Structure 1
Amino acid sequence: MKILIVEDEAGIATFLKQGLEEEGYVIIVASNGQDGLDQAIAQKPDLILLDWMLPKLSGLEVCLSFRKENTTTPIIFLTAKDTVQETIEGLKAGANDYIKKPFSFEELLERIKIHFRKQNEKDVVELKELKFIQSKHQVFLEDQEVVLTQREYELLLYLVKNKGTVCTRNQIIEDVWDIHFEYDTGVIDVFMNAIRRKLNSIKEVDYIKTIRGVGYIANE
């Protein structure tokens, strides 16, 4: 696996390069934002470790520009910036993860492994005539694309991945919405109605069954 390190502090770049090469990774190093962006596009790394404060182009600018070319390669910000707003800004720019300097190399290594495991997950998920291509964020019904919003896509994919199992509304709110406090789960029904309308506009199907008072189940 190939990792691109975009870091202008030579000591940190060398430390990361040596440590990750010992773990068997192929390492490319760029010392400024413009070189980092060029290397990211040309070298097609499997993962990018990106500093925020960089000469020529900031890490944020690199992330935004790279995401116009590539939406799937994981990007981990390594930065001293740690306010909530800055974290949100980085994630909105397309970063997948965010580690504050100074950091533990062991933690970074585990984060990298997690992202590589996610990449290696089965890309195509199917339920009867319904097919998800996760790397392209697309879903098809009988080879016709179903245009879903981000939340609709995540909800339907979650149910399909858990096919044959009743998913309670509370589980869905926690796992799909990532909300871990009391919340009106009725919003799920609104999204499910929208999903069903879109599926039925292509073909009358009944893949998702409502379990009244409980939640939903994808029929196998």
Structure 2
Amino acid sequence: MNILIIDDDHSLRYMLKEICKYAGWDSIAAENGYQGVELFKEVKPDLVLVDYHMPEMDGLQTVKMLRKMDTVTPLIVLTVDERQEIADEFLKEGASDFALKPVKAPDIIARIQLHIRLANIQDVQKNEGDVFTEKGISKKTLTLIADYLETNSQPCSVDDISKEVGLAYPTVYRYLMHLLEVGKVKQIVSHQRIGRPKNLYKWYTK
């Protein structure tokens, strides 16, 4: 398996290459978005790790360009920014998930493994229809979250779902909002003894 790393930070590129080596994966690194896009064309990697904050062409522009060329390869964004609006923009443009900085080896390895599995499932099912149900909503990720909720009898928080399915909080939140919008999930407000009420989500059964 070959991983493309796009990040302007030399030390982080080195660390990510070492993590990939430890996991038994090949990797190639680019120091900016332009170089990353060119390497993507040449190498056709199995997965891309792309930094958000880069000079000249940032991570969002890079994701846009990569998605124009390929709708299947998982794109994991590396960022320190946890704002949901930023996550929504990336997901709309085709990002698969997020890994928060500082990067932790167990987290990034688990996230890569999950998205490679999802990509393989998608490859098997590629004749069943479009990769995306709408802009920013991937069928494979939607199915993963929906299946978890459907088989879980108890209402779950975004944190619970994120930990169980292995996707980042912003990714899970956006997909839950989509499921709410289409009437597949209902939101339950749980009033805590201490602190603010907590939103929980449950698969909607009529």
| Secondary structure of 2:29 counterpart | strand
Aligned to 1:40: 40
Aligned to 1:137: 130
Matched, 1:53 2:53: yes
The percent identity for this pair of structures is: 31
| Secondary structure of 2:62 counterpart | helix
1:79–1:99 CA contact under 8 A, matched in 2: yes
| Secondary structure of 1:99 counterpart | strand
TM-score (structure 2 length as normaliser): 0.65
CA shift at 1:181, angstroms? Answer: 1.0
Distance 1:119 1:34, change over 3 A: same
Aligned to 1:181: 187
Structure 2 gap ranges (5+): 154-174, 189-203
- Alpha-carbon distance in 1 for matches of 2:101, 2:115: 19
Aligned to 2:26: 26
Instruction: Determine which structure has more spread, i.e. the larger CA radius of gyration.
Output: 1
Aligned to 2:116: 116
| Secondary structure of 2:49 counterpart | strand
Aligned to 1:74: 74
Deviations 1:129-150 (A, max 9, x none): xxx625x627xxxxxxxxx964
Q: How many positions carry a matched residue from both structures?
A: 159
CA shift at 1:65, angstroms? Answer: 1.0
1:41–1:66 CA contact under 8 A, matched in 2: no
One-letter code of the match for 1:30?
A
| Secondary structure of 1:133 counterpart | helix
One-letter code of the match for 1:99?
A
Distance 1:119 1:149, change over 3 A: closer
- Alpha-carbon distance in 2 for matches of 1:72, 1:37: 15
- Name the one with the larger helix percent: 2
Aligned to 2:166: none
CA shift at 1:72, angstroms? Answer: 0.5
1:53–1:59 CA contact under 8 A, matched in 2: yes
- Alpha-carbon distance in 2 for matches of 1:63, 1:30: 14
CA shift at 1:98, angstroms? Answer: 1.0
1:46–1:73 CA contact under 8 A, matched in 2: yes
Distance 1:124 1:18, change over 3 A: closer
CA shift at 1:122, angstroms? Answer: 6.5
Structure 1 gap ranges (5+): 126-131, 139-147, 183-187, 189-213, 216-220
- Alpha-carbon distance in 1 for matches of 2:93, 2:133: 19
CA shift at 1:54, angstroms? Answer: 1.3
Bigger RCO (CA 8 Å, 6+ sep): 2
TM-score (structure 1 length as normaliser): 0.61
CA shift at 1:124, angstroms? Answer: 4.6
Two-structure CA RMSD over aligned residues (Å):
3.6
